Chains A and B, each alone.
Chain A
Amino acid sequence: MSTVAQYVLSGLAIGGIYALVALGFHIMWSAARAVNFAHGDTLMIGGLLAAYLVASGWPLALACALAILVGGLFGFVLERLAVRPFAHQPNSIGWMLTTIAVGIMVESYATIETQGYALPLPSPGVAGSVQILGAGLYPQELAIPVLALAAMLGLQALQRHTLIGRAMQAVAHNKNAAALMGINVDLVVAFSFSLASLLGAAAGVLIAPVVQASATMGLLPGLKGFAVAIMGGITSAPGVVITGLAYGVIEKFVEGYVSTAAREIVGFSLMIVVLLAFPQGLFGKREVAKV
């Protein structure tokens, strides 16, 4: 029992990271039908910068806030620099490669700075573990899935109750019509990328105390977060969050009952099967092709 509880809770913690990353992909995709393939590096920027600032004497809260802001700025700049010039192209190769290129540069720079070592980010959330149903977790880990859900609800509230949020929905629905209605589409896209990156950097800050901040910390969450977004249906915010949490739990059970080694094989095979059965993802909207 305690083992099952451990897998479920640890899985939710990991899944919460995937969910937060996937939520970022959802926001970007909705606005621009393009994403930032360096989104994983946004996590790294958040986590690593926070660790550096704390190490150089900043108070924890201030360091985290600044790191998240810089992450958001990264998304804003990257959209301008690497995504927008290629957004109008019919295939996705342009922005895929430019964002990958920026990702390589950022990660390489971080590797040079850290020499490949991981850095700790001290947090009261990892000072001691708590026991739930016989499973041990850090409070920090428990916070991750909760915050992922909160972020999703927050996004929905933003979309319902604010002007920019409604503009985001309009752009997601039909970019041209939104432009005709006087919505500044470029602004909405820039806002969306910044928002997604703020979330990404926040996720980085959130997980850094648990996984340590390193140049490669964003690699797998970035990749899996994108897989989760596609699998869950990138057009649906609740869809990607739920899928992310579920994916994390499934991973833990595969690790626990099959083998650690089978994790990626099972996970990615599952994703392919899901896409074959549900081409728009589990919760995604079907886009009817009009002839």
Chain B
Amino acid sequence: MSSRGFTRSQLLAATVAFGLLASAAQAEQQPCIGNSAAVTGPAAFSGQAIKMGAQIAIDEINAGGGVLGKKLRLVQYDDAGAPPRGVDNTRRIALADKCIAILGGFHSTVAVAQVEPVHEIGIPYVGVWAANTKAIENGRDPNFMFRVSAKDKWVARFLVDEALKVAKDGKIAFFYENTGWGNGALPDVKAALAARGKELVAAETFNWNDQDMSPQVIRARDAGAEVVIVWSLDREGNQILRAMDKIGYKPSVIGAWGISGNLGELAGPLANGVRVMQTYSFLTPQSDTGKKVLAALAAQYGLKDPASIKAASGIADAYDAVYILADAIKIAGSYDWPKVQKALYEVNRDGLVAPYRPAFLKSDPERNDALLPEHYLLAVWHDGKLIPFKGSPYDK
């Protein structure tokens, strides 16, 4: 079923009442980039961050004349983290709004669900947040799913390497949230450990909003884990730290980027020394691009203090993703989906987060991801602030 499969009929007048959507579908002559993200619900911050990053990039591109002589526009729909709404939004963006490409959102379950409609329709998708490995490495050819963000498989390796530096006996526990993101990371972490000839001594899961993690923490302690790798958001990360504190268990804690928001604020001194992987930080010395983005964030969103930016990676990844897409459109010389998809493999540019040379590699199925492990940053929580690990008091 292609979008052209359904022809328009003369009966439109008869169904005016039911054709309400048509009004939404007609206005779009201007090329747009769509985005399905959580604008409401517990991860509402992510939709906001993506919007900021993408909009700043689009404004800059439009100030420079847009792409192919037209100005770009961002269309954001809320999926509230629910996959069916993400799927519906994907179709709406592609078929009703006829956008050039889709930017991904926060939730891995949504990203995985989008694989199917994205390929059925054949519209390029560029993930900017959800890190689930399989969303991008989905075995399709041609693959329309791209990503400018972390990939769990690589994050797992990155964190396992860090963990093994600390764990003398190599005893590592894994705490992961019971979501598509957490569950998807479990095999990645296991594989990364297996590659180093190790096994997890405990794998513990928990739900969002869980209020006490003592059973999980007790099991990890009893298993003798020296390091705990955490795949959670700040709120649950804080619960894990507090449960550890209560039973007097003090392992090293290393986390994926879910705990890079306000863990320091929530857990206070307990967060000191917790290491976090990030793709970007506005707290390091900034490049010219970084200064420009910071200025825009301060001017348009009132984020004057870089430390108050809680979702740096999301903003920066969305910013870069839009530029990569704009480049691809220029290379393709067209808004046509398959052409843009092919052109994405030809983009070369120095982005905010990393140099993309090239952004994607057609020859390597692992390289529909633009951010490579060497671009990942290790940060650490210290006195309520997330600072680069290198040169921190914990870097010994």
Contact = CB atoms under 8 A, between A and B. Distances in A.
Nearest to A122: B268
Contacts of B218: 3, 6, 256
B42 A216 contact: yes
A260 to B, nearest CB: 6
Contacts of A185: none
A255 interface: yes
A116 B265 contact: no
A118 B215 contact: no
A261 interface: yes
A186 to B, nearest CB: 36
Given A118-B238, A212-B235, A261 B178 contact: yes
B382 to A, nearest CB: 17
Interface in B9-25: none
B345 interface: no
Contact of A116 (B44, B242, B247): B44
Interface in B181-211: 204-211
A117 B205 contact: no
Residue with the greatest number of chain A CB neighbours at <10 A, chosen from B214, B218, B219, B239: B214
Given A136-B248, A256-B218, A261-B178, A211 B211 contact: yes
Given A211-B239, A220-B209, A115 B48 contact: yes
B215 A111 contact: no
B262 A117 contact: yes
Chain A, interface size category, equals: 35 or more
Contacts of A216: 42, 208-209
A135 B310 CA distance: 35
Contacts of B65: none
A278 interface: no
Interface string A145-173: 00000000000000000000000000000
B121 interface: no
A118 B262 contact: yes
A137 B212 CA distance: 11
B295 interface: no
A140 B70 CA distance: 60
Given A117-B234, A136-B248, A108 B261 contact: no
B45 interface: yes
A214 interface: yes
B246 interface: yes
A210 B245 CA distance: 12
Contacts of B242: 126, 138, 210
Contacts of B48: 115
A120 B211 contact: no
A17 B178 CA distance: 23
Contact of B235 (A14, A214, A252): A214
Given A7-B215, A216-B209, A261-B205, A116 B41 contact: yes
Contacts of A260: 178, 204-207, 210, 215-216
B44 A136 contact: no
Given A118-B262, A212-B235, A260-B210, 4 more contacts: A116-B46, A120-B266, A136-B247, A211-B239
Q: Which 10 A-B pairs have the closest CB atoms?
A: A136-B246, A115-B45, A256-B215, A255-B215, A118-B235, A116-B44, A129-B246, A136-B247, A211-B211, A116-B42
